[in-house]
Amino acid sequence: MKRICLVLVLATLAVDASAVGRLADVEIVDRTTGAVLEPHYYRGEYWVAGLPGARYSISIRNQLGERLLAVTAVDGVNVVSGEAAGFQQTGYVFGPHQAYEICGWRKSDQEVASFEFTAPPDSYAGRTGRPANIGIVGVALFRERHPAVALLDAPSPAAPPQRAGSARAQAEAMGADAARAKSAAAAPSSELALTAGSPPPAALVTAPRPALGTGHGAREASAVEHTGFDRLSESPNEVIRIRYDSYANLVAMGVIGTRPPPPPRPNAFPDAPARYVPDPPGYPAGGLR
């Protein structure tokens, strides 16, 4: 299916071992300090701790030698169109090995409203009546059926610089849980993607109320262009999900900090005083009979 996608100016962006993903490296970056938020793997999901009021970006680097479409959502909302996120929506198209920091909700071809951690009622999803999936970043990745001519990837002279050492990307679509990606082909194309998912029952009981959502911050320059992209398949080739919350909540859930001690393990060679096997209690005394 061929759709119109966004194209942004890309440069070199360093990505470290904390990135999540296979077809692309995905990181959450604190834009004030430039630090990558450390992902913590817990009960099958990645989590990062955000700081209230901090601006952040979603750093994506294409690991392939071909174009790649990244349909991106925050709190269950497509960051380009503002729709409740689904697979068959618009997103950013990345050239081979290109990287870009998605810094906010796209307002036009020239501007975004910055992502910033805020209280859930003040989040964009909360203020637009969609609070069910607050606390998650999702990136659905699609490979291209027929790579387009390189002319479509020409940089825009008006594109502003991003974070020091940042990049320039492109656009189209969004997704759901990586574990459900293989079954997505059999599901209706209107199925919502990148929801908060269904954590194990224990997590439902112990998890505190989310302390963070993503707000609709100040406008800033971010230039894009439009391009076409023919997806290799209707379902994403990979879905990356990163959940986020306050540091205190992640500690309370056991995502960060002390884990329950492991159960005692049996010792195959405990220290025993006898050289030979002693008789058990109540066994008749004596030797051979």
Domain range list for the chain: 2-253
Q: Could you tell me the pTM of the whole model?
A: 0.67
Residue bearing the bigger pLDDT, 63 or 178: 63
What is the rounded distance in angstroms from the CA atom of residue 202 to the CA atom of residue 253? Answer: 10
Name the percent of the chain in helix, strand, coil, to the closest 5.
10, 35, 55
**HSE on the CB side for 117, CA within 13 Å?**
27
pLDDT value of position 200:
41
Each residue's pLDDT tens digit, 77-124: 999 999 999 989 999 999 999 999 999 999 999 999 999 999 999 999
Cβ contacts of residue 193 below 8 Å, gap of 6+?
A: 71, 73, 85, 86, 87, 138, 140, 174, 175, 176, 239
Q: What's the mean pLDDT when you consider all of the chain?
A: 77
Residue 258 has pLDDT above 70, yes or no: no
pLDDT value at position 193?
27
| Predicted local confidence at residue 165, as pLDDT | 38
pLDDT, tens digit, for every residue of 174-215? Answer: 443 434 333 333 333 322 222 233 344 444 445 688 899 999
DSSP state of 203: H
